[in-house]
Structure 1
Amino acid sequence: MLSKQQLIEYSEDARKNYVNHISIDCVVFGFHEGQMKVLLLKTNDEEKWYLPGGFVLKEEHIDNAAVRILQERTGLDKIFLQQFRVFGDPDRSKFHNDMYVGMLPKEENWFSGRFISIGYYALVDFFDVTPHPDQFSELCAWRDLDDMPEMQLDHEKIYKSALDALRLQLNYQPIGYNLMPREFTMPELQKLYETILGKKLDRRNFQRRILGFGILNRSEEPRKGGAHKAPYLYSFDMENYQNALTEGFKGGW
């Protein structure tokens, strides 16, 4: 919690540099070898967790703001973020309103106003990135989806909405290029989809459908080694993969 003097300085800076009443929250999902996690911040002197978020500079494009905020809050850069929803419940900022009420006149307190938040999400290989907390946070950590802590504000709602959006994306766009090794087996790719969707998929149906998209190339030789029949290796056909990202495909899992 900010002191009165800190609140005065913060509010003055915010009113000078940032757009009133608009914030951004980023939901970064991490996947690696069948594990699915989400990146959260634990702020200084609080037991609650938050999504990485912040405010939009007055002369800044919204998408650029999301990239900047994620980099400033977590150290992650060059992450493709996709906008998925706007959150505007009138009481979504009540926690901070109550925390600082009476410390400053309402018109001078940055936290006294109503904020809408624009949600962005991303999916990365958490093994390839190293997040770190900013000055306002004591921890920046990956949390398992089945071991989520209590989150402040409406951040649990934003996180769950992002997960729904990610799962919906699987129905009309391919996912996997930046999360799989250069060559992989069909069971390894299926595990990625099952982890995101949170359910088991029929092996034959998955293989038939994923091959039907035309986004994979099969190697001539199967993977070497192992006691069982060696599975074939696949790689992404990048031209077809990019076309599928642009044009999409129909169906559901």
Structure 2
Amino acid sequence: MIQKLRHFIRSLEKTAIPQLSINCVIFGFHDRNLQVVVNRIALEGARIVVLPGGFVGQNEDVSKAVTRIVKESTSLERIMFQQFAVFGDASRTFGKEFKAMVANMNTEERQELAWISRRFVTICYMALVNFEKIKLHPTQYLETAEWMPIEKSKALSLDHKEIVESALATLRKELPYAPIASNLLPAKFTLPDLHALTEAILGRSIDRPNFRRKILKSEQIVKVGQDDSGQRRPADLYAFRHGKRTSLIDEYKFGF
């Protein structure tokens, strides 16, 4: 693994903009939990868990870099991203994470690692995807690409936990106005699914009967069948009504 990383860093020194990176928060909804895509890196005593990220080439548009980085770290393509923050504290570095590994390196190896251990300013992007349609595959020097429930994001390295929190705060601000629910849910879903997603984004409990009454009254969703996957009491399935707003602006004003 360390040899792959060293080769990667050598290529960066020739092609990438120094001390500028990109990180992507890719949200999905599964088992009634809001989750994010993470990558794991195992490096001789250092186990690092990070958001998908990478570096911008000297002759590369930032927008194209985002698409390339996500494909390289997850294999995902054709995802729409939104920029939501820039993180650039002077102390922002991977030095702490690499400390144990550096102790066993020779001078040449330490010099190579120094490039990626500097202070980096990162541009942060966010995307919403349908969990059921996503298959993750790590590439390059990465050990895994996997989903992590947001409540476990404190395990992320560097300041990536704060990046996830910032992305979640952006979701909460845009929930009343943007088609967030329809991007995260499958084409057909149950009311408990929609209720759980709204609670996960807002980070608080919502009265279920009140939520059901207001959502149905809004006519944003329409019943399309029943879930007969073996449950004793099949649940009604819904879809967002074609041509209707799929944001929760009207209901949000009532205050779930």
The alignment's TM-score, normalised by the length of structure 2, stands at 0.76
1:37 maps to amino acid: Q
CA contact (8 A) 1:31 1:123 kept: no
Q: How many residues align?
A: 245
Deviation at residue 103 of structure 1 after TM alignment: 5.3
Report the counterpart of residue 149 of structure 2 in structure 1. 144
Deviation at residue 193 of structure 1 after TM alignment: 1.1
1:237 matches 2:235: no
Mapped to 1, the partners of 2:32 and 2:118 lie a distance apart of 42
CA contact (8 A) 2:97 2:157 kept: no
Deviation at residue 49 of structure 1 after TM alignment: 0.9
1:10-49 maps to which residues of 2 (within 5 A)?
Answer: 13-45=11-43, 46-49=46-49
Q: Residue deviations 1:157-215, cap 9 Å, x none?
A: 11221122222221322322233343334333212212232322123443455457654
Unaligned runs of 5+ in 2: none
Report the counterpart of residue 201 of structure 1 in structure 2. 206
Percent of residue pairs bearing the same amino acid type: 35
Higher helix share: 2
Mapped to 2, the partners of 1:14 and 1:179 lie a distance apart of 34
Mapped to 1, the partners of 2:119 and 2:82 lie a distance apart of 24
Deviation at residue 153 of structure 1 after TM alignment: 1.7
Deviation at residue 96 of structure 1 after TM alignment: 6.9
Unaligned runs of 5+ in 1: none
DSSP-derived class of the 1:90 partner: coil
In structure 2, relative to structure 1, the CA distance for the partners of 1:90 and 1:97 (3 Å cut) is farther
Q: Residue deviations 1:94-151, cap 9 Å, x none?
A: 5179757975999x95336432101112222333211122221112221223334632
Q: 2:161 aligns with which of 156, 159, 178?
A: 156
Report the counterpart of residue 190 of structure 1 in structure 2. 195
Deviation at residue 52 of structure 1 after TM alignment: 1.0
DSSP-derived class of the 1:178 partner: helix
Deviation at residue 241 of structure 1 after TM alignment: 3.2
Q: Which moved more, 1:123-132 or 1:145-154?
A: 145-154
1:68-79 maps to which residues of 2 (within 5 A)?
Answer: 68-79=68-79
RMSD: 3.8
The alignment's TM-score, normalised by the length of structure 1, stands at 0.77
Mapped to 2, the partners of 1:237 and 1:64 lie a distance apart of 34
2:90 maps to amino acid: P
Report the counterpart of residue 88 of structure 1 in structure 2. 88
Mapped to 2, the partners of 1:16 and 1:49 lie a distance apart of 26
CA contact (8 A) 1:82 1:120 kept: yes
Deviation at residue 222 of structure 1 after TM alignment: 6.4
In structure 2, relative to structure 1, the CA distance for the partners of 1:10 and 1:232 (3 Å cut) is closer
1:166 maps to amino acid: L
